[in-house]
A and B are shown apart, each in its own frame.
Chain A
C-alpha cells in the first residue's frame, strides 16, 4: 500500500470531510482514509495494483469538491491568502448591502427610539417601493454568497447535505417567502409589508461569510509552526563549479554531490558534509539547542541551520524533500493531518447531524404551523433551527487544537507524530527510560585518573598515545580526554587483555590488571561505581589507573524528578548487570530497574507493565529500542538517536533533552483539555441553541429566536472554538514543583 495526501478545496464543515472520507473509503484498494477539515487534506493508503490516484481524485470531485494540485509552500500560502482575501471581499460586499437592509427593516419596528428614516421608503406609505428596495439590497448579498446555494443544493440533491445546505435551505425559504409576499403587496395586500424576511437572508449570508473569513484566518494561524519551518529553507545556494567559479543558483537546481559555499552568517542550503573550513553552526531551529556546534571537515551539516563565523565548503547530500528539515516538516504535517480518537465522536455526529437537523426543522416548523396557523412564526422557527445547527464548531473542535498543539510541540523541539500520541500522552502513568544513550550520554568518558608514582597528566598522555592506535570505544575516551599525544611505535593489540606500544622509548601497556602487572584491588572502587578501570604499566611497572564510564546526562536527574512530581513512576531498562544499572539508576533518582534485559526482550518487559494496567511511555534512542518504542503506549525517541528509533516512536525529542519528556506530557494534557473545552462549547451550543430556535422558550412566555441572532451565534461559536484552540499558542511548560 502507498500512502498519499491530497489537498482538497471547498470543504465548509466536518460534514463535508465525512462525506469525502466515505466516498474514498468506498473505493476498492483504499484504506485508512482520513479527511481533515482543518488542514483541508485527505490522507489515505492505496494499492496501485487495484486503483489509480486519478480514480480517487475523480471520486472526490464527484462529491462536489476541488482537488488542489500540490504546489510549493509559497504558492500554497498565496492560494490560501487569496482565499482569505476573497472571503473578506465577499463579506465586505455583503456587509455594505446588508447593513442598510437591516436598518430599513428594523427601524420601523423599533419603538423606544426615533431613528432617521427616508420618507420615500416608509413601509406604510410606499410598501412596494420598500419591498423592492429590500430586494435590490439583498441581491448583492445573495450573489456574493452564491456558493452556499450552488454547493448546498448540490449536496442536498446528492443526499449528503452539509453546512452550506442548511444555509441554502434556510435563506432560500426566507427569500422565496418574501418574494411571494412582495408579489402579494403589488397585488394589494399591503399588510404583508410586515412579513418580509429579506434582511434575514442578507444578514445571515453576511454573518456566515464573516465567520468563514475569521475561520480561514484563524485556521491559517493554527499552522504557523509549519510555515515558520518552511520559511527557514533558503531560496538560493552558491555552487562552486569544477573550474572554481562561484555561481548563485536556485535551491531547486542544487544536485547531490554539488560543492556549495556557505558564507558566514548565512543559512546552510541543503544537508551535506563539510569538505573544507571550520565554523560554529547554530542548529537551534532543528534541535532547540541554543549553543552553536563546532563543525569541521567531515562533519554533517543540515539545511536551514545558520553558519555563524567561518566559510564552509560542503558537499550536497540531502536535497529537496530529503533534507532533515523537510523530514521534520513532513512529520509535523502528518501529525496535523492525523486524527485523534477523541475526534471520532465529533466526526460521527457531524456526519449525520445535517440531515437530521433538516428533518427536525421541517417537522418542528410544520408542528408550529399546524398548532398556530401562523406561517411567519413557523418559517422563523424553521430558518432559525437550520441556521443555528450548523456543525462547523463541532468539526473544528479537535483538529484545530491538534494543529496548534503539534505546532507548539515543534517549536519546543518536540515532534509529535500523530493526534493519537498527543491524546495518549496525557494518560501516561509509567515512563521507562532506556539506559545507554538515553539516561547516559552513550559515549564512554574518562571519569578518574589515579597515578602510581606518576603524574595524572603524564599517565593520561602515555595511555592516550598507545590508545590512539586502538579502535576500542574505551580507548577513544582516553584519547579524547588527553588531547595531545606522543608518537607511538610497535603497536600491539592483545585480544581480551589490552594494547601496548613504545612511547618515547618506553613500553607502555594499557588494559586489564594482569596485563599491566597491577593489583586488581587498585581499580575495585571504580568497578563498584559502574566504571571500567584501565590499568597502565610503563616498562613493566604498574603506573596508575584510568576509570572510564558512560556518564549520566545532565538532564537525566531533573527529568526523572519532574516525572515523579507529575505523579508518574519511572523505570530504567538496560542490558547491563544489576550492579552497574542500580548505580546509574540511583544517581538519576530512578526507583525501578529492569536490568539484564536482552534487546529482543525489551518489548516484552513493556508488555508486562501494560498487562499490569499501566499506560507506558518508552524513551529510547537505539535500534534495539525500536520494538519497545512501538510496543509502548507512547514511544519517545531521542533526536540524536538512530533513524529506526525515530521512525518507531510517536514522539521525537529533537533537543535530546530528557526534560522535554515531561514538556510533551504537559503539552498533551493542555491540548486534551483544550479539545474537551472546544467539544463542550460546540456540543453545548447546539444542545442549547436548537431547543431555543425550536421555540422552547417561546412556549413558556420567552422570546422567539430571530434567525439573524441564530446566524450571529453560529458564526460566534466557530470563532470562539478557534480562538480557544489558538490559546494553546501561549503554552509554556510549567515548572513542576
Chain B
C-alpha cells in the first residue's frame, strides 16, 4: 500500500513538474487563439497611424478594438475601444459629462487604458500578433479567460473588455456554451451617469452578465456588441 501511495505522490509531482514548463497556459493559448481571430478578420484588420496601433473593426463598422504597436507612440490609450457616439447621444448622452478616460472626437467615443510608454521594437514594425504577444508578455494581467463562455478577453480598463472565442472552429458549431466569435463590452455606468437611457441605445445589447473581478464572479450590467466572423 505504501508503494501505491508513493507512486501516486510521485505521479502528482511529475505532473506538476511537467506542467511547470509552461504554467501560463491561458496566455500562451490566447496568442494562438487571437491569431486565428486575426486570420478570420483579416479584411477588418488594419494599422491605425493616428492611434499608433492595430485595429479590428466590427463587421458593421460601428466599433473598433485598437491595441498599440509601440507604447511610446500611442498618444492616448494602448488598449482601446472606439465606437459611434450617435446611438448613445440619441439615448440622452451628454458627452461633456463623461469621465476623463473617455474621449469624444468627430462623432466617435474612445475609451481605453494606457499600459506604458515602452518601445516594442527599435527598427522593425511589429505585426498585429507580435503586438498582442507583447501584451501577454509584459501586461499579462490584462488577459483573462471567461470559463462560462469559453472566451478570452482583454481588459481595457474601467470595466470595458474585448472578448473573443477561444476556439473559433468549434465556437457555437457543436452546441457548446460559446457565444459569438468576438464581443465588444462597455461598462454602462459612466454612460448612464452622463444621461444615457440604456434601454434606448440602438445597436448595443444592454444585459446583465457575470464577470470575474479579482477572482470572484460578479453580476454586472454591460453594453454588448457581439459578432460572428464566419
Contact = CB atoms under 8 A, between A and B. Distances in A.
Interface of A: 107-111, 114-119, 121-129, 132, 135-136, 139, 142-143, 146, 149-150, 153-154, 179, 182-183, 185-186, 188, 190-191, 193-194
Interface residues of A: mostly helix, strand, loop or mixed? helix
A119 B141 CA distance: 8
B217 A132 contact: no
Interface in B135-169: 140-141, 143-147, 150, 166
B217 A126 contact: no
Contacts of A194: 147
A190 B1 contact: no
Given A114-B213, A122-B212, 19 more contacts: A107-B216, A108-B215, A123-B147, A124-B212, A125-B141, A125-B144, A126-B23, A126-B24, A128-B22, A128-B24, A129-B23, A132-B19, A132-B23, A149-B5, A154-B1, A179-B11, A182-B19, A185-B25, A191-B150
B2 A117 contact: no
Given A108-B212, A108-B216, A111-B219, A124 B1 contact: no
A176 to B, nearest CB: 9
B143 A193 contact: no
Nearest to A157: B1
Contacts of B22: 128, 186
A437 to B, nearest CB: 61
B216 A188 contact: no
Most interface-central of B19, B25, B146, B215 (chain A CB within 10 A):
B215
Given A124-B147, A135-B12, A114 B141 contact: no
In the complex, which range does the number of interface residues on chain B fall in? 35 or more
27 contacts: A108-B212, A109-B217, A111-B217, A111-B218, A114-B214, A116-B214, A117-B214, A117-B216, A119-B141, A123-B215, A124-B212, A125-B144, A125-B145, A128-B26, A129-B24, A135-B12, A135-B16, A139-B9, A139-B12, A150-B1, A150-B2, A150-B5, A179-B11, A186-B22, A190-B145, A191-B147, A193-B147
A108 B144 CA distance: 14
B15 interface: yes
B5 A179 contact: no
Given A149-B1, A154-B1, A188-B25, A122 B19 contact: no
Nearest to A132: B16
Nearest to B24: A126
B71 to A, nearest CB: 21
B124 interface: no
Contact of B166 (A114, A136, A154, A190): A190
A188 B29 contact: yes
Given A110-B216, A117-B214, A146-B5, A190 B15 contact: no
Nearest to B11: A179
A127 B19 contact: no
Contacts of A146: 5
What 9 pairs between A and B have smallest CB-CB spacing?
A: A117-B215, A150-B1, A191-B147, A128-B25, A122-B215, A124-B212, A124-B145, A186-B19, A108-B215
Contacts of A125: 26, 140-141, 143-145
A124 B216 contact: no
Contact of A190 (B147, B213, B219): B147
Contacts of B145: 124-125, 127, 190
A153 B213 CA distance: 42
A142 B147 CA distance: 29
Contacts of B4: 149, 153
